[in-house]
């Protein structure tokens, strides 16, 4: 725990929609090799925060640094090229492709083929295709769905589609994978499978930042947690520390009306 280096720093990040402050001056630092969770009740601003880090939404103020490089104003594809990939809460598989093509598309930024070499199908292109396919197969094995490789992606069950998204996000060897509510919509068996995959990949040195509503999973797998409520950071620490934080307990167990405040993006 001691010699870890910061990989992602969020500094005083704020997002204002009209008059509503969705994310208010939030700061935290994710260190290399950890599973970092951002939690909070519905409408706390988690998704807005997530969308700012992935470049989908511009921030109103504050900074995001990834390995000392500023991410603000970078486009999503540029952020991916820097080494941050992601999965989606509402599943965004390429439904017009097979499972293995989905994963091969994830390897897009690691490939060199251009339109001319592709059209002439030079031997280098062929080799790259074969290699990418093998890597894609390995990535599918790592998440345990290699038997579905040649199915059309949207025919997969929900849980498998989420695993597919993780394989797609992991194949480019990113430095950080962002998971947007990875447990949403999964049954307990699927959740268990997903947790296993995430823990295994962390062991191999992957860093994860995830936004999650489901407290139980967060507590069981995270190394560090940030809790936000109404856009404000109300707690930070290890799962044990979070359990004992009275503000967090109040936010989660306190009045239910707050659940109605939707600042969801």
Partner 1 sequence: MNSKSLKLIYNNSILGPIILFAVLFCIPLVSSSNYLFSILTMIGFYALVCIGLTTLTGYAGQISLGHAAFYGIGAYSSAVLTSTYGLNPWIAIIIGALISAVVALIVGIPTFKLKGYYLALATLGFGIIVYTLFKEFSSITGGSNGFFGIPPISLFGYEFITDKSYFYLIWVFVFFAILFTRNIIHSRIGRGLRSIEGSEIAADAVGVNLMNYKLQIFVLSAIFASVSGSLLAHYVSFINPDLFVANTSIFFLIMVIMGGKGNIWGSIVGAAMYVLLDEILKHYVPLLLPNVGGQFEIVFFGILLVLTLIYMPDGLVPRFEKLMSKFKKKTPTNGALQSTISVNATGGDNK
Which residues contact partner 1 (rule: CB under 8 A)?
A: 54, 56, 75-78, 80-81, 85-86, 88, 92-98, 100-101, 104-106, 108-109, 111, 113-115, 118-121, 125-126, 128-130, 132-134, 137, 141, 146-151, 155, 168-169, 172
CB closer to partner 1, 78 vs 220: 78
CB closer to partner 1, 14 vs 105: 105
In the complex, the smallest distance separating the C-beta of residue 258 from partner 1, rounded to whole angstroms, is 29
Which value, to the nearest 10 degrees, does the dihedral of the CA atoms of residues 172, 173, 176, 180 take?
A: 40
CB closer to partner 1, 26 vs 149: 149
Q: Closest Cα to residue 168, out of 91, 90, 96, 85?
A: 85
Name the strand (E) or helix (H) holding 36: strand 35-39
Q: How far is CA 88 from CA 5, 51, 71, 206, in A?
A: 27, 11, 20, 18
Q: Closest Cα to residue 261, out of 21, 97, 87, 30?
A: 21
In the complex, the smallest distance separating the C-beta of residue 122 from partner 1, rounded to whole angstroms, is 10
- Asked if residue 162 lies in contact with residue 194, where contact means CB atoms within 8 angstroms, the answer is yes
In the complex, the smallest distance separating the C-beta of residue 15 from partner 1, rounded to whole angstroms, is 18
Residue 120 CB-density burial (10 A; 0-12 exposed, 13-18 middle, 19+ buried): exposed
In the complex, the smallest distance separating the C-beta of residue 13 from partner 1, rounded to whole angstroms, is 20
Q: Where are the alpha helices (DSSP H) in 54-187?
A: 76-82, 99-106, 115-120, 123-143, 158-170
In the complex, the smallest distance separating the C-beta of residue 229 from partner 1, rounded to whole angstroms, is 27
CB closer to partner 1, 51 vs 230: 51
Compute the distance between CA of residue 146 and CA of residue 136 in angstroms, rounded to an integer: 9
In the complex, the smallest distance separating the C-beta of residue 70 from partner 1, rounded to whole angstroms, is 18
CB closer to partner 1, 4 vs 126: 126
CB closer to partner 1, 7 vs 171: 171
Compute the distance between CA of residue 124 and CA of residue 76 in angstroms, rounded to an integer: 29
């Amino acid at each position: 725990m001691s010699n870890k280096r910061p990989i992602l720093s969020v500094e005083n990040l704020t997002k204002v929609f009209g008059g509503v402050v969705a994310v208010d001056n939030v700061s935290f630092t994710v260190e290399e090799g950890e599973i970092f969770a951002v939690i909070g009740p519905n409408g706390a601003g988690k998704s807005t925060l997530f969308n700012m880090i992935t470049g989908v939404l511009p921030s109103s103020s504050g900074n995001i640094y990834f390995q000392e490089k500023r991410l603000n104003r970078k486009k999503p594809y540029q952020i991916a090229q820097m080494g941050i990939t992601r999965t989606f809460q509402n599943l965004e598989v390429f439904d017009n492709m097979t499972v293995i093509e989905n994963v091969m598309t994830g390897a897009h930024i690691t490939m060199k083929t251009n339109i001319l070499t592709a059209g002439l199908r030079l031997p280098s292109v062929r080799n790259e295709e074969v290699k990418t396919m093998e890597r894609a197969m390995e990535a599918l094995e790592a998440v345990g769905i290699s038997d579905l490789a040649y199915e059309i992606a949207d025919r997969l069950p929900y849980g498998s589609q989420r695993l597919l998204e993780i394989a797609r996000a992991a194949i480019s060897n990113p430095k950080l994978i962002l998971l947007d509510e990875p447990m949403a919509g999964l049954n307990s068996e699927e959740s268990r499978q997903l947790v296993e995959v995430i823990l295994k990949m962390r062991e191999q040195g992957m860093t994860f930042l995830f936004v999650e509503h489901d407290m139980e999973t967060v507590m069981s797998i995270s190394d560090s947690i940030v809790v936000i409520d109404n856009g404000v950071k109300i707690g930070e620490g290890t799962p044990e520390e979070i359990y004992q934080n009275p503000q967090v307990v109040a936010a989660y167990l306190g009045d239910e009306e707050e659940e109605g405040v939707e600042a969801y993006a």
